[in-house]
Amino acid sequence: MTFRSGLISGTRYAIFAAILGKSQQYKKMTTRIGTDIATARALLEAGEAVAVPTETVYGLAANALDAGAVLKIFKAKNRPHFNPLIIHLPAWAAVARYAAEIPADADLLARRFTPGPLTFLLKKKPVIPDLVTAGSPKVAIRIPAHPVARALLSQLDFPLAAPSANPFGYVSPTTAQHVFEGLNGKIPYILDGGQCEIGLESTILDFEDGAVIVRREGGVSVEAIEQALGRPVLLKTAAAEHPIAPGQLKSHYATATPLYVGATEQWATRFAPEQTCVIAFGNNMEDVAAAHRFQLSPSGNLDEAAQNLFRIMREADRCGAAVILAAWLPENGIGRAINDRLRRAGQEMAGFEDGGHS
């Protein structure tokens, strides 16, 4: 009898344990925000994914050499596995450990712009898991300039794979609070390094047959790269069906509120003022009510506009308007990268621009 009831309770226990295990699997993790590099380091060494500040945007980092740790990034972000990750190193000197070939142009540009917002696509060594590169023979490598990122990386004996620390498809985070808003309950720790100085992701460069190819515009301008090289680069940043850099996907950086960019002269006839908010560069669009008008840079400075862009896109997204309207910025320097992000956050832009929709 005792034996039988023991058996029954054992079975019950097994069922209970199975249910508990399942519920724990789905239980939200507690997400802490702090400035303790040692905590971030310990978690990363234990194979966890941790948000870290960089000078461009916050990254969601994990040990790039540990596929299990890298999987946690994809899971927390809900990011498709075909989208490869950038690895971050403490110094350019470490690049030869992970890249099989270093073209002379890459070396020249690294010496000029790193640490900084520039990413290099280089033939990978086998030590980099295929999950990191989504099966590509090239790995994306960056040396961030943010002092907290540098301090952390210099204490680790592995590189950090890190995409921007936002749920897949949403606006990139430029503060620890932005990361928290998107990933609370999904990661254990957000290392707070203040507001990101650049505010836009790195420029991604590829090297093929002696040519330097810009795959994504970002923190280092095309003009600056061409000046350093002494010759023009190729621009291959257009959206593609199955993109080489899925940062090229049009729905990237999207706000929940539909965002239309350009064609400012049509706005008044198409949208009721009380239902819209606008993202202005400097002092343009002064006729729009202050509560509905977000300025990227009151003084018309492109660097400041880049720094503020993602924060303002988030604020505009919360302002209660039915649509967000944004004007193009000057198409030079980092203005080009800002326009690229607006273009890809924008919806139905073609229909709007050519007047195809009413």
> Binding residues for Mg ion, per CB under 5 A?
164
Q: Is the peptide bond before 273 cis (omega within 30 degrees of 0)?
A: no
Q: Which does 202 bind (CB under 5 to 8 A by kind): Mg ion, ligand TXA, none?
A: ligand TXA
- Using DSSP's 3-state secondary structure scheme, residue 234 falls into strand
| Total residues at interface with ligand TXA (CB under 6 A) | 27
Name the minimum Å distance from CB 349 to ligand TXA: 20
> Which one, 99 or 288, has the nearer CB to ligand TXA?
99
User: Closer to ligand TXA at the Cβ: 204 or 345?
Assistant: 204
Q: How far is the CB of 347 from ligand TXA (least distance, A)?
A: 19
Residue 263 φ/ψ region, left for φ over 0, alpha for ψ in the -120 to 50 degree band, beta for the rest: left
- What is the spatial distance between Cα 41 and Cα 349, in angstroms, rounded to a whole number? 43
- N-terminal to C-terminal alpha carbon distance within the chain: 78
CB distance 70 to 223 below 8 Å: no
Q: At what angle do helices 302-317 and 176-183 cross, to 10 degrees?
A: 30
Beta sheet of 211-216, edge-to-edge order: 32-34, 189-191, 50-52, 59-63, 160-161, 86-88, 138-142, 118-123, 203-208, 211-216, 234-235
Q: What is the CA radius of gyration of the chain?
A: 23
Instruction: Tell me which residue has tokens 């927390």.
Output: 76
Site string for ligand TXA, 129-158 (x = CB under 6 A): ----x--x-xxx-x----------------
Partner touching 89 among ligand TXA, Mg ion, none, CB below 5 to 8 Å by kind: none
**To the nearest whole angstrom, how small is the minimum distance from the Cβ of residue 334 to Mg ion?**
17
Among 145, 187, 191, 204, which residue sits at the site for ligand TXA (rule: CB under 6 A)? Answer: 204
Task: Give the interface segment with ligand TXA, choosing from 19-27, 180-188, 197-205, 344-352 (CB under 6 A).
Answer: 197-205
* 203-208 and 118-123 strand pairing: parallel
In angstroms, what is the minimal distance from the CB of 7 to ligand TXA?
52
Site string for ligand TXA, 242-281 (x = CB under 6 A): --xxxx----------------------------------
How far apart CA 345 and CA 169 sit, in angstroms, is 9
Minimum CB–partner distance for residue 172 and Mg ion (Å): 5
Write out the two tokens for 62: 């994990």
Contact stretch for ligand TXA (CB under 6 A) within 162-170, 227-235, 261-269, 346-354: 162-170
Task: Give the tokens for residue 70.
Answer: 């890298």
Class of residue 252 by CB neighbours under 10 A (exposed 0-12, middle 13-18, buried 19+): buried
Q: Which is nearer to Mg ion, 119 or 164 (CB)?
A: 164
Q: In terms of CB distance, is 164 or 248 closer to Mg ion? A: 164
What whole-number distance in Å separates Cα of residue 49 and Cα of residue 303?
A: 30
Does 174 participate in binding ligand TXA (rule CB under 6 A)? Answer: no
Residue 203 or residue 276: which is nearer to Mg ion going by CB?
203
Closest by CA to 296, choosing from 348, 237, 339, is 339
Question: Considering beta carbons, is residue 103 or 163 the nearer one to Mg ion?
Answer: 163
Nearest residue (CB) to Mg ion, 164 versus 175: 164
Q: Which of residues 35-94 bind ligand TXA (CB under 6 A)?
A: 54, 56-57, 59, 83-86
Closest separation in Å from C-beta 277 to ligand TXA: 26
- Nearer CB in complex with ligand TXA: 85/190: 85
In the complex, which residues of this chain contact ligand TXA (CB under 6 A)?
A: 54, 56-57, 59, 83-86, 117, 119, 121, 133, 136, 138-140, 142, 162-164, 201-202, 204, 244-247
